A and B are shown apart, each in its own frame.
Chain A
């Protein structure tokens, strides 16, 4: 049995590493995708293009606007003097935010009336708009508080010292600089392994079926289990190799800290790759052609990535979807990746995720192998 398995493995490795192009396919795309993702995937919003329209032109209004100019979040690109210009600039997409201060702004403030800061936001990109409005509110809130304090202080110094207030003492953990690369890079590792292992495994089997070499193998003394092992072991190893490679890119190139133990990461990766082999084999049992395998792969990959918490938090998804994510191995692997990389936690925290991946992997492999036997008959 071992001799036959060895023969099968040698054949597979030769096939996989046969020419320059297929060797490149194993390692090129993951690294390229890692680099592009690492640089392009950022949800940070800074330098929001902004226009200002100051009808008051007083010292107070200039003070308020200077807080926007000084902020890293806003980039004041235009100072206007006509309302209509706002519409033009926003329509053309030149600015996202327009701030407008009405005439009599300083007077309103002085007389104790509530003055208004009009903000117009292009919300066709809703995330940017949401964050921009948040920043505007923060800056205006601080201005408001400062102004109030000054005013109260001038009437009665006692008031100033005794006026109650709460200050939020922000303590960000794990990613203190709010670096989005630190968030995305570990996630990309999970995504890439998912896509690589599933498609390689599915294609390897379906290709033999399509070309007709599957029958040739079946008439040799190679058993079914040997065939399955021969088809999965190479991709298991390639998956591990790819994991190592892109983890290295993540750590050495992007400088994402690896705070936990490599051993825990390896256990997580092994369990996850087993799940993905199960999926890949399953897809190969339901596809007759490579085109079908590719599309079925896509039908699995796309939802698996979208509903994993890769880009947006699971807690904001519709509740029904939140329940479905418990069946998604990537969800657990992302917890492991981010946990080990950024939080530096170990098995004492991550055991539920590991168990879940182990169970899912076992179930998926069992189903696939059973189906695979049938599909060979």
Chain B
């Protein structure tokens, strides 16, 4: 590798990027958009679940019970209806996700004792939200039960009643269980994958399509020089984007950063090399810009989004897919970045993941230069 040739390629690429001002703006706008979009749009804090109530008794006690749902921040009681038809229509049209139906002789049955069943009709189309709303409804019912039972026992001269068991839950690393703290560091990984794949996948494909590649090849530049030269500017842009994202995560979304910056930047550097060489590889193999962009999307963005544990937990996937995730570089980076942000994990515990990333970086560089040579001959 000769430095002056490398420098020439870098200069050429920088010139090309600078001339394409819209694209340069995009490298700043895209992380911002992704950060804001995911930070606000992807939230697992399920609140304000729309609820309809059908109170067939309409007594003071039934109203009292239903008030518990109104008071909860998890539910949003939209409407009180007076027939089943309205409930069915609302569930069909998606106007509510949960409908609570109180039986006719609710308060009377409570007086005579024994369990009274209250119907909870759940739109289970979205199984996750349905599960969470069941959990919250059960909690409302349990609290209410405790209160009426306590009152009953006092009325009947029984000793005061204490709940036998209390759960004392401590959540580590993300004490308020806020999903932004969990999602936002993951978004940093997604953005890096996108920048790497989208921007670089087009650089080589464009040269082929415009016919300038032949001109480049006829110069004394070697494939490795060409690759490194083309990637260096994007590497710098990627690092700047990473810093921008980390800054937003910490100051805008107020995600705690508990780890060491050195570990953070080391892992970011490794991951950037991986995604850049992957994007390069794709653009060498693909023929047109359209093909390159589609292939890059499939090869980097989708796996980073789906198979890295960003949103969907890996340990819940079928075994075959779980094994496949080991081939996804973003999986390792996702673990590292979350651990560094939230757990403050130090280098020794992350060594396995870092080594995996390093391995990918080396392999992909070799693959990409090989593919380039093959394409030339």
What is A's interface to B at a CB cutoff of 8 Å? 21-22, 25, 29, 32-33, 36-37, 39-47, 49, 64, 90-93, 109, 112-131, 133-138, 140-141, 143-145, 147-148, 151-152, 156, 159, 161-176, 178-180, 182-183, 195, 199, 203, 207, 211, 289-292, 294-295, 298-299, 302-303, 306-307, 311-313, 315-318, 321, 335, 338-339, 342-343, 345, 349
Contacts and interface: CB of A to CB of B under 8 A. Distances in A.
A236 B341 CA distance: 45
Given A164-B152, A173-B91, A183 B321 contact: no
Contacts of A167: 115-118, 141
B220 interface: no
A172 B181 CA distance: 31
Q: How many B residues are at the interface, by size bracket?
A: 35 or more
Given A122-B172, A289-B20, 20 more contacts: A22-B290, A29-B298, A36-B302, A43-B311, A47-B316, A116-B168, A119-B170, A124-B342, A127-B311, A138-B138, A162-B112, A173-B121, A195-B297, A199-B294, A207-B290, A290-B206, A302-B33, A315-B48, A316-B46, A339-B92
The SS class assigned to the A binding surface is helix
A44 B318 CA distance: 12
Nearest to B293: A294
Contact of B124 (A40, A164, A173, A298): A173
A318 B179 CA distance: 13
Interface string B42-63: 1111111110000000000000
A242 to B, nearest CB: 13
B42 A114 contact: no
Contacts of A298: 30, 194, 198
Contact of A306 (B38, B114, B316, B349): B38
A306 B41 contact: yes
A55 to B, nearest CB: 14
B124 A115 contact: no
23 contacts: A40-B306, A49-B315, A91-B349, A123-B171, A123-B182, A124-B342, A131-B135, A134-B135, A144-B164, A144-B165, A147-B165, A148-B161, A159-B158, A164-B148, A164-B149, A172-B130, A195-B297, A289-B20, A306-B41, A306-B42, A313-B126, A317-B40, A317-B43
B222 interface: no
A42 B40 contact: no
A60 to B, nearest CB: 10
A311 to B, nearest CB: 6
B30 A295 contact: yes
B128 A180 contact: yes
Interface string B92-135: 11100100000000000011111111111111111111111011
Interface string B291-310: 10110011000100011010
Query: 9 closest Cβ contacts across the A-B interface?
Result: A162-B113, A134-B135, A172-B124, A306-B41, A123-B171, A127-B44, A43-B128, A178-B127, A126-B182
Contacts of A156: 158
Contacts of A166: 65, 110, 115-118, 141, 144-145
